[in-house]
């Protein structure tokens, strides 16, 4: 009975061999330090690994991370890139494969990484060969995350000369508000990316006021647009990332529609994660462009309206990125401005808005310093007054401006 058992054991070992030939030596994994703005998706996208699910699974396993964990700036992480010694002959013999097409893809990958300056030298000169994990384990792309949209030419309504030249007409603000006089140059040289939440196929949270529907994206957009106008009035360059043709509106009840687009007239995708990446990609492209032009101070401001239980009142509150001192600093400045205004204008002088950290996509995946603002609980009757009254929407934009001028 021993012989059959031995035979079965040997057969099992043989069948367990991988489909590609065994490599000449065990591969290490390439390591990189996380920098500000790095999330798992953006980090893997930088190295062209983001369209393969097995790369994400391997990244979590290599670094002992939970799914969607946040990265810590300055910490070293292993990427799903295997590092082999190039033998000076062929890629196939260096890593032990027989697939010629795969070898070509690996060579082209190393060349692209060199062109992008993610590699210091060619693998042919330093004998260090990078092999993406997916090439050996899941060569067929199975994820769809949008690539960064090319930055459109500067749209004049946000980037007109802040020194006073030109007509200072900004059509995006609507006919009644298009003309925007220069009040001061206090924010000259600074760049802001103003993002109102949701839009396009996603209206966000919806509240009810009598027979009217209150769509989060419409009210967040109106306050964001007013804030953008305030920034331009004080000399800043401000980009409205979410864009509509409604302009600033005076009505209490803003019509819900689905025609919003993103900077560059980019149509919003239906799925939430790709839609968020569209926004962060656009901001990061603009950030790099402005950084190369010498702009030192850039900031992202994200405006939303919260949704809670109907009975829960919420003052304006703020989120900052957990690993960014500057993000926390800016959130505290805005919080302080609101606190001072509530003390002056609210009957009892009390303000219960909070500042806390949260690992949200738009805080994690955008390169500029960022702050996330929640204006009210859209389902609470009292909180609704803060956003449906035109005077209150303008007050919110004015008070937020004071925090940025601080």
Q: Does 26 score more than 60 pLDDT?
A: no
CATH number of 156-405: 3.40.630.40
pLDDT in tens, 103-155: 999 999 999 999 999 999 999 999 999 999 999 999 998 877 666 555 554 45
| pLDDT tens digits along 338-372 | 999 999 999 898 999 999 999 999 999 999 999 99
pLDDT at 21 over 80: no
How large is the angle between the packed helices 390-405 and 325-345, nearest 10 degrees?
130
What is the C-alpha separation between 316 and 396, in angstroms, rounded? 9
Per-domain residue ranges of the chain: 17-137, 156-405
**Residue 259 neighbours by CB distance under 10 Å:** 12
Kindly compute the dihedral angle of the four CA atoms of residues 244, 229, 376, 307, in this order, to the nearest 10 degrees: 20
On average, the pLDDT of the chain sits at: 88
Please check the confidence at residue 15 and state whether its pLDDT lies above 60: no
For 134-277, strand residue ranges (E) read 190-196, 206-209, 212-215, 237-240, 242-243, 261-262, 266-267
Distance (Å, whole) CA 287 – CA 360: 19
3-state secondary structure of 53: helix
Quick: pLDDT tens for 83-103. Answer: 999 999 999 999 999 999 999
| Beta-carbon count within 10 A of 210 CB | 5
Task: Summarize pLDDT for 296-327 with one digit per residue, the tens.
Answer: 999 999 999 999 999 999 999 999 999 899 99
């Amino acid at each position: 009975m021993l012989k059959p058992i031995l035979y079965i054991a040997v057969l099992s070992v043989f069948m367990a061999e991988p489909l590609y030939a065994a490599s000449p030596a065990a591969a290490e994994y390439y390591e990189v330090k996380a920098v500000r703005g790095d999330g798992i998706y953006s980090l893997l996208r930088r190295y062209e690994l983001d369209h393969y699910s097995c790369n994400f699974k391997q990244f979590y396993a290599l670094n002992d991370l939970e799914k969607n964990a946040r990265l810590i700036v300055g910490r070293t992480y292993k990427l799903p890139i295997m590092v082999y010694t190039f033998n000076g002959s062929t890629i196939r013999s260096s890593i032990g494969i027989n697939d010629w097409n795969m070898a070509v893809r690996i060579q082209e990958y190393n060349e692209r990484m060199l062109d992008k300056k993610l590699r210091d030298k060619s693998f042919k000169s330093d004998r260090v060969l990078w092999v993406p994990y997916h090439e050996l384990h899941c060569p067929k792309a199975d994820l769809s995350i949008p690539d960064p949209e090319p930055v459109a030419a500067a749209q004049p309504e946000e980037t007109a000369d802040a020194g006073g030249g030109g007509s200072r007409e900004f059509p995006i603000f609507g006919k009644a508000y298009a003309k925007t006089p220069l009040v001061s140059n206090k924010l000259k040289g600074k760049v802001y990316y103003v993002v109102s939440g949701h839009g396009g196929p996603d209206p966000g949270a919806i509240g009810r006021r009598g027979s009217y529907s209150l769509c989060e994206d419409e009210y967040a957009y109106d306050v964001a647009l007013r804030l953008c106008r305030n920034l331009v009035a004080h000399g800043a360059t401000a980009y409205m990332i979410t864009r509509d043709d409604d302009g600033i509106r005076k009505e209490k009840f803003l019509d819900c529609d689905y025609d919003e687009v993103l900077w560059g007239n980019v149509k919003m995708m239906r799925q939430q994660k790709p839609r968020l990446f569209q926004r962060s990609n656009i901001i990061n492209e603009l950030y790099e462009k402005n950084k190369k032009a010498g702009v030192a101070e850039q900031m992202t401001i994200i405006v939303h309206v919260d949704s809670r239980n109907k009975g829960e009142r919420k003052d304006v509150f703020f989120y900052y990125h957990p690993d960014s001192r500057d993000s926390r600093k800016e959130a505290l400045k805005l919080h302080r401005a609101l606190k001072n205004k509530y003390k002056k204008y609210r009957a009892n002088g009390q303000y219960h808005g909070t500042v806390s950290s949260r690992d949200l996509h738009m805080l994690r995946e955008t390169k500029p310093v960022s702050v996330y603002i929640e204006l009210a609980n859209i389902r609470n009757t009292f909180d609704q007054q803060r956003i449906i009254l035109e005077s209150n929407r303008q007050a919110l934009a004015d008070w937020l401006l004071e925090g940025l001028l601080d």
